[in-house]
Amino acid sequence: MPEVAWQPIARVGTPKLLRSTKNQQIIETTVRYAPRAVMKWHDLFEAKLTELGAKMSQVASGIDGVELHASLLEDQIQSEIEKVDEAIEHANRRYEDDVLPQLRREADAKAELAARAEEDRKRLDQLADSLSKPERHGSRNW
């Protein structure tokens, strides 16, 4: 049974909080999660963020992870980060419960198909070998 690689996503590091230079009441808030997620996980995550009414949105993505940003009032920061954490936990759970089993079934089916093809190839090679005749001097090989 082939293994489907999966590492749960988690919020990492310390949130970056910077007071806006344009509006002193606004805190520019950035959080990061890692590792970078596959699209199916990201869709689950984004749907949950939307459902929760979160203001955070993705601003950067790299091999180290993904950054989310929102311009918030100070009293909104904790609630917004809690929404991100809830959306991450939800997406991880749904991915593990719904998506991974399907990916594993698909990987198993591909592995089974490849194994059958290999067995068929071996059987045909054995048949060909059993039907071979000795080479004659001067005959051409295929």
Q: Is residue 111 part of a domain?
A: yes
Give the rounded percent of residues in the chain with a pLDDT score beyond 70.
92
Query: Which domain does 119 fall in, by range?
Result: 10-129
Tens of pLDDT along 17-66?
999 999 999 999 999 999 988 889 999 999 999 999 999 999 888 888 89
Q: Is residue 136 part of a domain?
A: no
Question: In terms of pLDDT, which residue wins out, 38 or 83?
Answer: 83
Whether 139 shows a pLDDT value over 70: the answer reads no
DSSP string, the chain: -PPPP----EEEEEEEEEE-SS-TTEEEEEEEEESPPPHHHHHHHHHHHHHHT---EEEEEETTEEEEEEEEEGGGHHHHHHHHHHHHHHHHHHIIIIIHHHHHHHHHHHHHHHHHHHHHHHHHHHHHHHT--PPPTTPPP-
Give the rounded percent of residues in the chain with a pLDDT score beyond 90.
56
pLDDT of residue 37: 84
Number of domains within the chain:
1
Q: Is residue 124 part of a domain?
A: yes
CATH number, domain of 97, equals: 3.30.1360
Q: Is residue 139 part of a domain?
A: no
Q: Is residue 113 part of a domain?
A: yes
Tens of pLDDT along 85-138?
999 999 999 999 999 988 778 767 787 787 788 888 888 888 888 888 887 766
Q: Is residue 134 part of a domain?
A: no
Q: Is residue 137 part of a domain?
A: no
Q: Is residue 104 part of a domain?
A: yes
